[in-house]
Amino acid sequence: MVRFMPDESWSPPIVLIAVDLVILTLRSSALHVLLVERGIAPYQGDQALPGGFLNNAAEDILAAAHRELREEADLDAGHLHLEQLGTYGAPERDPRGRIISVAYLAIAPSLPEPTAGTDAASASWRPVDDILSGHTKLAFDHHQILADGVERARTKLEHSALGTAFCDETFTIADLQQVYEAVWGVQLDPRNFYRKVQAVPGFIVPAGDERRTTKGRPARLFRPGPRTVLHPPLVRPDQQPMNLGVQ
């Protein structure tokens, strides 16, 4: 039921809305992204981000993202961090016509291989480094979307409590450090990390005096605190001066 028309002779362009998901997680200390193999043309057989079309004109976009999260990734959408990443709408990005995609960034704690027998049967976790370095080509403009998603995650680690979204419900400070090291791709000093993380009020709170069994001294467990914005931020060390223009 669309009616409007500033100019009656003008007819609205037909555009389809899609949703694409950059689902990041940590597996064996490396950043991974969930990819699916495309079953139909175009780009049949290629790897692509999970996603799909808006179901109907009444479906909310964020709701569509959650739905795809369930359908394609078989992930419980309930307590997953999900945020809008950007909209990708270059006219030629999809050979089937004008398809504008709203991309979302999702962060998940460590998870097993996607279960077969669901829509996600063709899905698999892939190391982000392999994709971004060009070893695997992605369909459409998904390489760009993934790069933007990873960059967003990197900067959000500095200023928000996003890091805890990679962890389980309770976690040690060493667990959290692994998240930062994997996403940032750097090594951090455990002592200084410990101190800085604790210095941010409300970032993480002790989860009772419980502890975990390993080889050495047990570690205290924490859970995410009430603050989502970090003060002070955890600054990423030595962001290499990348794009200096002409000198």
Interface residues with DNA (CB under 7 A)?
Answer: 172-174, 189-192, 194-196, 198-199, 211, 213-220, 232, 235, 237-238
Q: Which residues of 13-24 are buried (b: 16+ CB within 10 A; e: fewer)?
A: eeeebbbbbbbb
217 is in the binding site of which of its own copies, DNA, none (Cβ under 5 to 8 A by kind)?
DNA
Minimum distance, C-beta of residue 186 to DNA, in the bound complex (Å): 10
Residue 36: DSSP 8-state: E
Tokens coding 195: 């101190």
Instruction: Report the length, in residues, of the chain.
Output: 247
Q: In this structure, how many other beta carbons lie within 10 angstroms of the beta carbon of residue 62?
A: 14
241 is in the binding site of which of its own copies, DNA, none (Cβ under 5 to 8 A by kind)?
its own copies
Minimum distance, C-beta of residue 170 to DNA, in the bound complex (Å): 12
8 is in the binding site of which of DNA, its own copies, none (Cβ under 5 to 8 A by kind)?
none
Q: Which amino acid is at 156?
A: K
87 is in the binding site of which of its own copies, DNA, none (Cβ under 5 to 8 A by kind)?
its own copies
The per-residue DSSP string of 223-241 comes to EE-S-SB-SS--PPTT---
Minimum distance, C-beta of residue 152 to its own copies, in the bound complex (Å): 12
- Which one, 95 or 190, has the nearer CB to DNA? 190
State the residues that interact with its own copies by CB under 8 A: 1-4, 6, 12-17, 40, 53-61, 84, 86-87, 89-91, 96-100, 102, 201-202, 225-229, 231, 239, 241-247
Determine the angle formed by the axes of helices 173-184 and 190-199, rounding to 10 degrees. Answer: 100
- Which one, 98 or 196, has the nearer CB to DNA? 196
Tokens coding 184: 């940032």
